[in-house]
A and B are shown apart, each in its own frame.
Chain A
Amino acid sequence: MKVMRCPLNGERNISEFTCLGEVSEPPAPDGASDEAWAAHLWNSNNTAGVVREWWCHVPTSYWFIAERNTVTDEILRTYAAAELFAKGNNE
């Protein structure tokens, strides 16, 4: 079975994880058009190549970031969301 490394729990079978989709920047809350919001919520980029995704280790409900190549399905790196959203950046 494919093995993924959870930043909190270490290496686990991929069946313990679920992918929550690409990390994307939401549009500015004031002034964004309905189309921009709809695109953010419902459309995905479907990039062929390296993407940054939200993943969750289900037994611990731990959300983290993974960088994955969608062509080869190779997981390049996993890390805590705090690394991407340093305090103050996401407020």
Chain B
Amino acid sequence: MDPAGQTRRSFVYRRLAEAGAVFGAVADVALAVHYGDPDAELETARRLGLADLSVLPRVGFKGAGAAKWLAAQGVSLPEVNGAAAQPDGALAARLGPDEVLLLGGLDGAAGLVGRLDEAWAEASTVEPRGYPVPRRETHAWFVVTGAQAADMFAKLCAVDLRPQSFANHRIAQTSVARANAIVIRADLAGTLAYHLLVDSATADYYLPVLLDAMSEFTGGLVGHQALQALLQ
């Protein structure tokens, strides 16, 4: 599957293609499913892997009343700078008292994110309810996995993200590699993992910077297949 023919492409799909990505359909989008050797990538993902999930569903809501409206939609909300897993595999990341980012599950299904998109279009008894933020368009979505992920972040980020001081489902909104980013720790079935959301305009900067930071740990790109394998 050629991502160039798709309406929704990753901000860095050309770089991924250059790195040997084999794109395949995941739900209704083209994702880098592997880079030629899925078994080796699973090992890499356990040690230090980087995957690009930019095409997968996500959405945000912010402004006065946003948290109240989401709660009314059945979203379980954590406290500020925390994340809460939702029944369908989505993750609700609370960035402020009235600002929530919802990351869809790795399966790429519309799920909760799709349902909230539809619910937003309908009238609500909760007013004010803030406004929606098109996070799928504004932010690139990377995930850094593996036992050495925190060592890699220590080179790029001043916040202590080591697992012993930064619990699972904690969020750091901070500077990573000198640009603004959201870091959400969300382990994948026991493997340390951090979601990294950055401004889409900086995606093309981040990808080589992250790969460079990972090189000393012999980390590298891993496909969606390796992430799914981690979950099994």
Write the nearest CB–CB distance from B100 to chain A, whole angstroms: 13
Within 8 A of B (CB), among A48-81: 57-60, 62
Q: Say yes or no for A12: interface residue by CB 8 A criterion.
A: yes
- B95 and chain A: residue at smallest CB distance: A60
Within 8 A of A (CB), among B152-208: 158-159, 172-175, 180-182
Task: Give the residue of B158, B173, B182 whose beta carbon is less than 8 angstroms from that of A13.
Answer: B158
Interface SS of B by simple majority: strand
Within 8 A of A (CB), among B73-117: 80-81, 95-96
Interface SS of A by simple majority: mixed
> Quick check: B175 and A8 within 8 Å, CB to CB?
no
**How many interface residues does A have (CB within 8 Å)?**
13
A60 to B182, alpha carbons, bound, how many Å? 9
A13 to B160, alpha carbons, bound, how many Å? 12
> Quick check: B158 and A12 within 8 Å, CB to CB?
yes
Question: What is the interface of chain A, defined by CB distance below 8 A to chain B?
Answer: 1, 8-10, 12-13, 15-16, 57-60, 62
**How many interface residues does B have (CB within 8 Å)?**
13
- Chain B residues in 8 Å Cβ range of A15: 175
What are 6 A-B interface contacts by the 8 Å CB criterion?
A1-B158, A8-B96, A9-B81, A9-B174, A59-B180, A60-B96
Write the nearest CB–CB distance from B75 to chain A, whole angstroms: 21
A84 to B180, alpha carbons, bound, how many Å? 28
Write the nearest CB–CB distance from A86 to chain B, whole angstroms: 16
> Quick check: B81 and A59 within 8 Å, CB to CB?
no
> Quick check: B96 and A62 within 8 Å, CB to CB?
yes
> Quick check: B175 and A60 within 8 Å, CB to CB?
no
Known contacts A8-B80, A13-B175, A59-B180; 5 further A-B pairs (Cβ under 8 A): A1-B158, A9-B81, A16-B175, A59-B181, A62-B96
6 A-B pairs closest in CB distance: A59-B180, A60-B173, A59-B173, A13-B158, A16-B175, A59-B174
